[in-house]
């Protein structure tokens, strides 16, 4: 029998034996952390069950968060709408038709207060998927926590803050790379001084994978971006062990079950060696790659959507077997629209069944020692290192994005996979095989124009009751900081505390930094 390639193009044998991977890995919790970053993994504590949610207004999203927490979710994960992500208030012409659609609309501290009303931030860890405006959303979160009386050391969670993958794969950027990287490192420095237990970045491979990359490309490009962030932080005067323990990662989990497990194991091993050997990190926490996982969005199908329950369960299991620290499971109806409450509950129950019924968490790295998994881990690592070497030859992550190399590589991989699906070589159940003319009735959740009207009215009232001169005074302070070298977060925090909006803050920064426009090569 001949070898056959998997989705990533790696050749697979029909049978694996001891000679395929004779070297035994060190135990979990020890360098290079291939088998996990904790010695007992989930025996001590299960992964954080963090369901990604947010839609419409802050008040509506608050109800969903409280529902999920009541159902046993152990951490919040906030989705923001597109205007919030790219720094436009809900009444801006550029926001028209997008308010509340793919996440919650947050324009000011008033919205954040409503979003988190009745949720004890001292006890809940929160992840926020936000990048270009990450500093502002974190500051709003801190301001609400302070109003609750939550001590700075107990404000815990993660802000994505990964702008490089926006240029590479997603598109919700505002400013050019250089000032964007300044905002990233300013946030690193600010948190070190003010929010010691906040994870300052979640370096994201998820969106790279969703855009079409292979598993090896996902970790290679993500770790390449991570190297750029570490270098930028060092250039800003930060010592590696002062910020690296708060770095975290975000990966996808797709349908090639064993390759996904191998990908997570390989990523840990590569990062540990990069931090020890390239950056001379001595703190074990700097070397141990911590990551959140989300099951695949692009693997969900609009056809026969109940099949997505099975897909999500398998993807979640591979994330758990791969040693994730937190997990979001997609709802079965997300290929059709925003997740309904019942579908979100099934997604959460999927994690709970794995965590409490399967016995999988009782052993750290249950697949460790498998001839196949160990060999596949080596192959994914080898492929990822070769891609990272290409990035270094191209001048590093930022240069590869600016030249369009990263975007072209992802697009080519996406094209190859789509051709395999269209030809029937890659089977997708219910789409190109075993399809059925009988459509399943699934209620689709929709966000209407009333949300935008409500947000616009709220903004009008907020601006009317602000003291005169507040906007002008804070805008001048933000502009002064932006044109200089001081940390941008303190003047931004002062402005946001006085209910200056995100859009107003971003307008000042746009005036100083300009806006990013992709080159034709990209």
d(C-alpha 90, C-alpha 451), whole Å? 9
User: Of all residues in the chain, what percent carry a pLDDT higher than 70?
Assistant: 98
d(C-alpha 382, C-alpha 211), whole Å? 22
Name which of 252, 360, 373, 377 is nearest 315 in CA terms: 252
Position 301 scores a pLDDT of: 96
Query: Does the CA dihedral 480-485-490-496 come out positive or negative?
Result: positive
Position 272 scores a pLDDT of: 98
Name which of 171, 446, 127 is nearest 293 in CA terms: 127
511 neighbors 476 (Cβ within 8 angstroms): no
Q: Are strands 291-295 and 11-12 parallel, antiparallel or unpaired?
A: unpaired
364 neighbors 35 (Cβ within 8 angstroms): yes
List of domains in the chain: 4-32+126-409 (3.20.20.240)
| pLDDT tens by residue, 292-340 | 999 999 999 999 999 999 999 999 999 999 999 999 999 999 999 888 8
Query: Does the CA dihedral 498-501-505-507 come out positive or negative?
Result: negative
In the predicted structure, residue 521 carries a pLDDT above the cut 50: no
d(C-alpha 368, C-alpha 41), whole Å? 13
3 neighbors 256 (Cβ within 8 angstroms): no
Q: Are strands 291-295 and 247-253 parallel, antiparallel or unpaired?
A: parallel
Q: Are strands 198-199 and 11-12 parallel, antiparallel or unpaired?
A: unpaired
Q: What is the mean pLDDT of residues 486-494?
A: 98
- Chain position carrying tokens 């996406």: 414
Burial of 435 (0-12, 13-18, 19+ CB in 10 A): exposed
Neighbour-count burial for 378-415, b at 16+ CB within 10 Å, e otherwise: bbbbebbbebbeebeebeebbebbbebbbbebbeebbe
| pLDDT tens by residue, 384-439 | 999 999 999 999 999 999 899 999 999 999 999 999 999 999 999 999 999 876 65
| pLDDT tens by residue, 151-165 | 999 999 999 999 999
How many CB atoms are located within 10 Å of the residue 479 CB? 15
| pLDDT tens by residue, 163-204 | 999 999 889 999 999 999 999 999 999 999 999 999 999 999
| pLDDT tens by residue, 446-473 | 777 888 999 999 999 999 999 999 999 9
Q: 519: number of CA atoms within 13 Å, CB side? A: 13
d(C-alpha 499, C-alpha 87), whole Å? 15
Bridge partner residues of 4 (DSSP): 12
Residue spans of beta strands (DSSP E) within 111-246 = 126-129, 157-159, 198-199, 201-204
d(C-alpha 427, C-alpha 432), whole Å? 6
In the predicted structure, residue 5 carries a pLDDT above the cut 90: no
Position 20 scores a pLDDT of: 83
Position 163 scores a pLDDT of: 95
d(C-alpha 43, C-alpha 77), whole Å? 24
Position 346 scores a pLDDT of: 96
Q: What is the mean pLDDT of residues 48-59?
A: 88
Bridge partner residues of 445 (DSSP): 338
How many CB atoms are located within 10 Å of the residue 128 CB? 24
Mean confidence (pLDDT) of the chain: 94
Name which of 264, 268, 274 is nearest 294 in CA terms: 264
244 neighbors 230 (Cβ within 8 angstroms): yes
Task: Note every long-range contact of 298-302, with CB atoms under 8 Å and residues 24 or more positions apart, other chains counting.
Answer: 298/210, 299/254, 299/255, 300/330, 300/332, 300/334, 300/335, 301/335, 301/428, 301/430, 301/431, 302/335, 302/336
Position 353 scores a pLDDT of: 98
Entry pTM: 0.91
174 Cβ contact list (under 8 Å, min separation 6): 86, 87, 132, 133, 180, 506, 509, 510, 515, 516
In the predicted structure, residue 520 carries a pLDDT above the cut 60: no
Element (H, E) at 28: none
Q: 348: number of CA atoms within 13 Å, CB side? A: 26
Q: 162: number of CA atoms within 13 Å, CB side? A: 31
Token pair, residue 515, equals: 């806006």
Nearest 10 degrees: Cα torsion 215, 323, 166, 211: 30
Name which of 478, 458, 454, 477 is nearest 466 in CA terms: 458
Bridge partner residues of 12 (DSSP): 4
* ∠ Cα 116 118 123 (to 5°): 80
Element (H, E) at 51: strand 48-53
244 neighbors 285 (Cβ within 8 angstroms): yes
Nearest 10 degrees: Cα torsion 335, 337, 340, 344: 40
Token pair, residue 179, equals: 């000032």
In the predicted structure, residue 443 carries a pLDDT above the cut 80: no
Q: What is the mean pLDDT of residues 19-30?
A: 88
| pLDDT tens by residue, 347-357 | 999 999 999 99
Position 9 scores a pLDDT of: 86
pLDDT class for 522, splitting at 50, 70, 90?
Answer: very low
């Amino acid at each position: 029998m001949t070898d056959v390639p998997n989705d990533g193009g790696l050749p697979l044998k029909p049978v694996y034996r001891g000679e395929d991977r004779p070297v035994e890995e060190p135990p979990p919790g020890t360098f290079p952390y291939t088998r996990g970053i904790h010695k007992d993994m989930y025996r001590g504590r299960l992964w954080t069950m963090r369901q990604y949610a947010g839609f419409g207004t802050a008040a509506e999203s608050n109800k969903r968060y409280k529902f999920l927490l009541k159902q046993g979710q152990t951490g919040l994960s906030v989705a923001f709408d597109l205007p919030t992500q790219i720094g436009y208030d809900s009444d801006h012409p550029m926001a028209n038709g997008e308010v509340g659609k793919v996440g919650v609309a947050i324009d000011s501290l008033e919205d954040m207060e409503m979003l988190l009303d009745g949720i004890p931030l001292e006890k809940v860890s929160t992840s926020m998927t936000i990048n270009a405006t990450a500093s502002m959303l974190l500051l709003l979160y801190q301001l609400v926590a302070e109003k609750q009386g939550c001590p700075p050391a107990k404000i815990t969670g993660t802000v994505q803050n990964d702008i490089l993958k926006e240029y590479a794969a997603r598109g919700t950027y505002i400013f050019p790379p250089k000032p964007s990287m300044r905002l990233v490192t300013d946030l690193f420095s600010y948190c070190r001084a003010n929010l010691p237990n906040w994870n300052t970045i979640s370096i994201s491979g998820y969106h790279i994978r969703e855009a079409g990359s292979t598993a090896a490309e996902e970790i290679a490009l993500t770790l390449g971006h991570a190297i750029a962030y570490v270098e930028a932080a060092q250039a800003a005067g930060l010592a590696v062990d002062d910020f690296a323990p708060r770095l975290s990662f975000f990966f996808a989990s797709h349908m090639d079950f064993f390759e996904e497990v191998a990908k997570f194991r390989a990523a840990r091993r590569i990062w540990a060696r990069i931090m020890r050997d390239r950056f001379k990190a001595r703190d074990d926490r700097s070397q141990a790659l911590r990551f959140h996982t989300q099951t695949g969005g692009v693997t969900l199908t609009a056809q026969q959507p109940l099949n997505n329950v099975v897909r999500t369960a398998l993807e979640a299991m591979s994330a758990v077997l791969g040693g994730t620290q937190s997990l979001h499971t997609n709802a079965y109806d997300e290929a059709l629209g925003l997740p309904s409450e019942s579908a979100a509950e099934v997604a959460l129950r999927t994690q709970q069944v794995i965590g409490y019924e399967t016995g999988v968490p009782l052993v750290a790295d249950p697949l460790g020692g498998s001839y196949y998994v160990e060999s596949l881990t080596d192959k994914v690592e080898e492929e990822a290192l070769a891609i990272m070497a290409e990035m270094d030859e191209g001048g590093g992550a930022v240069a590869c994005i600016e030249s369009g190399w990263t975007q072209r590589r992802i697009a080519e991989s996406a094209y190859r996979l789509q051709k395999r699906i269209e030809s029937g070589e890659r089977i997708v159940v219910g789409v190109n095989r075993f399809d059925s003319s009988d459509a399943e009735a699934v209620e689709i959740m929709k966000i209407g124009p009333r949300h935008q009207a409500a947000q616009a009215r709220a903004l009008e009232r907020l601006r009317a009751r602000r003291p005169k001169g507040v906007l002008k005074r804070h805008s001048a302070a933000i502009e002064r900081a932006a044109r200089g070298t001081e940390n941008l977060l303190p003047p931004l925090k002062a402005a946001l505390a006085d209910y200056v909006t995100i859009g107003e803050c971003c307008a000042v920064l746009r005036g100083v930094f300009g806006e990013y426009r992709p080159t034709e090569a990209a």
